[in-house]
Amino acid sequence: MEQRVRVLIDCKDAKGLVYKISKVFYDRDLNIDNNREFVDKEQGKFFMRTVVSGDFDIDELEGAIKAVIPISANLQVIEPKRKKIVILATKESHALGDILIRHEAGELDADIEAVIANHDTLEPLVRRFDIPFFSVSAEGMSREEHEEFMMELIDEQEFDIIVLAKYMRILTSNFVAKYPKQIVNIHHSFLPAFIGANPYKQAHQRGVKIIGATAHFVTDDLDEGPIIAQDIIPVTHRLEWRDMQRAGRDVEKIVLSRALNLVLNDRVFVHGNKTIVF
């Protein structure tokens, strides 16, 4: 039966890997629809993403690939399908609104299972798109107590990725550890500069000539997780920090959308604290 899969491989580099893997596809009369590979020479690491199609058995194909790559290799054979996401938000609407519109227009290759926020400010916006909305106030709770309620709601959903659409709370180690490499955040500055609160004000005070946005996976290190996508725009001394903030919000939407498309289409390898993006 004709089908298509994405084959993701990262392993120790060795001679002939591309040939050996390609031969597995050739021997099964499979078509290589797309192929990218990269070698990190400093670390001696090999990365490859290949999309193949044809008539094959997935388990047999996976076994054949494993036979020609190092034993310690990470191999994924993924059937392309729409992934599911849960969005966390606070009060700012621009990042969330952009995702909702793209989803409604069929531009987001994912299904939004729910939006969960720590305020009810965005509920009317979300309800317009007929998507479940949950509000969990943090008032009177410790960070840990609030996250317990958040995690209960999240775990009730079927999801692949958690998106922080301007979720303005620092996550605890317990929360991050529960969803490794599953949390995508949009940060309102060009990391690693100006981490934490009020980055546009920090940037204005430094007299920067560019501002930007960064989408990254969340780790225990605040705003220092592996970077997925970034972009910038030029600014001048004529802009006050609030003008920079307004301009920056447009960049944030674009960068978050770009990062989501990469992650949803299995184009991102996490390599230490950086990414290989195909």
- For 47-59, what is each residue's pLDDT tens digit? 999 999 999 999 9
Same fold? 2-78, 83-277: no
Eight-state DSSP code of residue 170: P
How far is it, in rounded angstroms, from Cα 29 to Cα 147? 50
Contacts of 260 (CB under 8 A, 6+ apart): 85, 99, 108, 110, 161, 163, 184, 215
Beta bridge partners of 203: none
Q: How far apart are CA 228 and CA 248, in angstroms?
A: 18
Dist. CA 91–CA 166, nearest whole Å: 8
Percent of the chain, pLDDT > 90?
A: 79
Q: From 108, 91, 95, select the one nearest 253 (Cα to Cα).
A: 95
Spell out a b/e string for 36-48, using b for 16 or more CB atoms within 10 Å of the CB, else e: eebeeeeeebbbb
Out of 60-74, 181-195, 245-259, give the one with best mean pLDDT.
60-74
Q: Of 178, 186, 195, nearest to 256 (Cα)? A: 186
Region 164-193: what's the mean pLDDT? 88
| Rounded Cα distance, 81 and 101, in Å | 20
User: How far, rounded to the nearest angstrom, does the alpha carbon of residue 211 sit from its chain's CA centroid?
Assistant: 21
CATH architecture assignment, domain 2-78 = 2-Layer Sandwich (3.30)
Is the pLDDT score of 195 beyond 80?
Answer: no
Active site residue 55: no
| Segments making up each domain of the chain, as ranges | 2-78, 83-277
| 241 — pLDDT class (breaks 50, 70, 90) | confident
- Cβ(156)–Cβ(116) under 8 Å? no
Work out whether strand 83-89 and strand 161-164 pair parallel, antiparallel, or are unpaired: parallel
Please write the tens of the pLDDT for every residue from 118-153: 999 999 999 999 999 999 999 999 999 999 999 999
The reported pLDDT for the residue numbered 204 is: 75
Residue 257 to residue 180: CA distance in whole angstroms = 20
Give the pLDDT score at 196: 62
C-alpha 116/C-alpha 223 separation (Å) is 21
CATH superfamily, with its number, for domain 83-277 = Formyl transferase, N-terminal domain (3.40.50.170)
Output the six-digit token pair for 272: 């230490």
pTM of the model: 0.90
Catalytic residue among 221, 223, 250, 266: 223
Please report, to the nearest 10 degrees, the dihedral formed by the alpha carbons of residues 120, 121, 125, 131 taken in order. -20
